[in-house]
A = this chain, B = another copy of it.
Amino acid sequence: MGMLLCCLFPLDSIEWENLVMASATVNGGGCRLRVIRSVSAALGRRFYAKVATGTDIVSAAPNVSLQKARTWDEGVASKFSTTPLKHIFKDKKVVIFGLPGAYTGVCSNKHVPSYKENIDKFKAKGIDSVICVAVNDPYTMNAWAEKLQAKEAIDFYGDFDGSFHKSLDLVTDLSGALLGTRSERWSAYVVDGKIKALNVEEAPSDVKVSGADTILGQI
């Protein structure tokens, strides 16, 4: 079990934070915000400029659309259509979780499975859809969802240009892990567009507050 956990959590929070800080320093952009966040975290308070409990997620990301996971051929058939946020959230109870990327360790081994395994509990609580989103194109998201055998339970969406996560101020530079600009690891319970609960991990390698168990207790 120790070996297994070691594989699932290959980097601890401090190592991830160092990676992120190094990337931010090298690349210049985003460093100031990261420092503010780190100071806030040290003070025991989280700092997010654009998203919090009570935020209207549709208004916070105006004119932003996500891209439903699909094969390339389905993408062509759909004329590369996208899904406006209001179509996803309006008049619905939604649980949404974001993660650093398809085919990365913690996302594949722990984060997605925690939602897949609990899908019946979400449905029993009246949740209309459980959504997984990442800064990946929708074809990669689709292939990954199929590999995880999770497409039946969870709706997968790509945020290929990061515009959704940038609007919510939930991006982080993971160039140190060869990923580039990606999403924080987070989850939210959203009713008719309004965020009722929001959980953002201190480090992208953590699944301490963004897994299914936590948000099931918040619904």
Contacts and interface: CB of A to CB of B under 8 A. Distances in A.
Contacts of A101: 137, 139-140
A210 interface: no
B177 A104 contact: no
Contacts of A76: 10-11, 105
B7 A103 contact: no
Interface residues of A, number: 36
B138 A140 contact: no
Contacts of A143: 102-103, 143-144, 147
A72 interface: yes
Given A72-B105, A73-B105, A105-B73, A161 B180 contact: yes
A82 B178 contact: yes
Interface in A84-105: 101-105
A175 B162 CA distance: 12
Contact of A80 (B102, B103, B139, B178): B178
